[in-house]
């Protein structure tokens, strides 16, 4: 396996996406979408990151629902409520993929 992490950010929309893929197999092991900054002082919405979410599939089967690990908003699909720690929790859980 050759895991790669792809990060993209859009400063204009304050969004960030993170994906962990196996470059050889083409499988998606993790995906995250959320805000770059959670405390948006411009809009005054301190709960802006409630819609942030991420999923991790330990076997790379990203069509399986539910995923093995979920973080953030989404009820049935993603579970929980996102907050300022959602991205940090996601990054901590993909760390083992990036160190193997």
pLDDT digits (tens, 9 = 90+) for 33-45: 998 888 776 667 7
What was the pLDDT predicted at 75? Answer: 46
Mean pLDDT for the chain?
A: 85
What pLDDT band is residue 19 in, cutting at 50, 70 and 90? very high
What pLDDT band is residue 84 in, cutting at 50, 70 and 90? confident
What was the pLDDT predicted at 43? Answer: 67
Given a cut of 80, whether residue 46 has pLDDT beyond it is no
Q: Reading across the β-sheet that carries 53-56, which strands appear in turn?
A: 3-10, 15-22, 28-35, 53-56, 69-72
Contacts with 61 (C-beta within 8 Å, 6 or more apart), sequence order:
27
Contacts with 79 (C-beta within 8 Å, 6 or more apart), sequence order:
66, 70, 72
């Amino acid at each position: 396996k050759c895991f790669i992490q792809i990060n993209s950010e859009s400063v204009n929309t304050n969004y960030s996406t993170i994906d962990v893929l196996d470059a050889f197999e083409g499988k998606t092991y993790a995906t995250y979408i959320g805000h770059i900054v959670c405390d948006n002082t411009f809009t005054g919405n301190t709960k802006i990151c409630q819609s942030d979410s991420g999923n991790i599939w330990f076997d790379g089967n990203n069509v399986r629902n539910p995923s093995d690990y979920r973080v953030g908003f989404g009820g049935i699909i993603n579970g929980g409520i996102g907050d300022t720690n959602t991205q940090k929790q996601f990054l901590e859980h993909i760390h083992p993929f990036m160190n193997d």
